[in-house]
Amino acid sequence: MPLAPELHTFADAQELVLAAADLLVQLGQRAIAERNRFLVALSGGSTPKALYATLTSPTIARRLDWAKVHFFFGDERCVPPEHHESNFGLAQAMLFAPLHIPPSSIHRIQGEDLPEAAAISYETLLRRLTATPEEQWPVFDLVLLGMGDDGHTASLFPGTPAVSESTRWVVPSSAPQGPRSRITITLGVINHASVILFLVTGHNKATVVQRILEHRGDDPIPYPAALVRPEHGRLLWYLDYAAASKLTTTPPHSTSQEDP
């Protein structure tokens, strides 16, 4: 029986990323203590910027053994790594470089390659680095996700074939705007993670947040983010008050950090 989603609301994006950074550090400490490595998949988009800035602040950064953290990506735009729209490029500048993460711990999607080739080679890489004998899917310690105001997450956009992919781990996909050509991990990968953490901020996402989190019954809703339902792990939604403003059953409130 899947665990119920855990909802936390925060006054603003800064409080939210502080809590997210704290959770990441605690999950990392635990994974490293138990398995000597921490496998985390980063999200794309703009929300991670503030998280990266928080993770590199001295008070947070000194709490984790970054040499044992392996960074992956949930999605990538089909652009070269130095392009301003590259998810890797943002992480490289704001997270990996400041923390001196060795290249051998950074596992990027090659957005400069043809999409099908990039998807196949990233799946091959994931199979090599994350597969366990017991599971046919990778088990990330943490998958970070954002959500667009159309309900997309990673690069799983409403109504596109990537959303219904059930066997491949990584596929090419297509966005309605911005850099259209993308590579994304699939729902099977996301849903087998130990912890999935959505970071969602802003009024523009409040309607979709409400429809997903207060959805009752079996009628389908057209948002890929609603299909994130972990098989065995935890699902957390961190919302700022603006993103939570249309929820009716859980009034926005500030939460203290719980034991991860």
Ligand X SMILES: O=C1O[C@H](COP(=O)(O)O)[C@@H](O)[C@H](O)[C@H]1O
154 binds ligand X (CB under 6 A): yes
| Per-residue mark of binding to ligand X, 75-114 (x: CB under 6 A) | x---------------------------------------
- Edge-to-edge strands, sheet with 234-240: 6-10, 234-240, 195-200, 142-145, 38-42, 69-73
Q: Which run of H or of E encompasses 40?
A: strand 38-42
The helix/strand/coil state of 53 is: helix
Of 12, 9, 3, 17, the residue nearest 202 (C-alpha): 12
Q: Do the beta carbons of residue 160 and residue 181 sit within 8 Å?
A: no
153 binds ligand X (CB under 6 A): yes
d(CA 156, CA 164): 9
Phi, psi torsion values for 29, nearest 5 degrees: -60, -45
Cβ-based nearer residue to ligand X, 105 or 174 = 174
Among 44, 111, 115, 224, binds ligand X (CB under 6 A): 44
148 binds ligand X (CB under 6 A): yes
List, as one string, the DSSP characters of 128-196.
HHH--TT-SS---SEEEE---TTS-BTTB-TT-HHHH--S-SEEEEE-SSSS-EEEEE-HHHHHTSSEE
43 binds ligand X (CB under 6 A): yes
Cβ-based nearer residue to ligand X, 44 or 230 = 44
Tell me the closest approach of the beta carbon of residue 123 to ligand X, in angstroms. 18
151 binds ligand X (CB under 6 A): no
Tell me the closest approach of the beta carbon of residue 228 to ligand X, in angstroms. 11
47 binds ligand X (CB under 6 A): yes
224 binds ligand X (CB under 6 A): no
Tell me the closest approach of the beta carbon of residue 149 to ligand X, in angstroms. 8
45 binds ligand X (CB under 6 A): yes
173 binds ligand X (CB under 6 A): no
d(CA 144, CA 243): 17
> Which residues form the interface with ligand X (CB under 6 A)?
43-47, 74-75, 145-148, 153-155
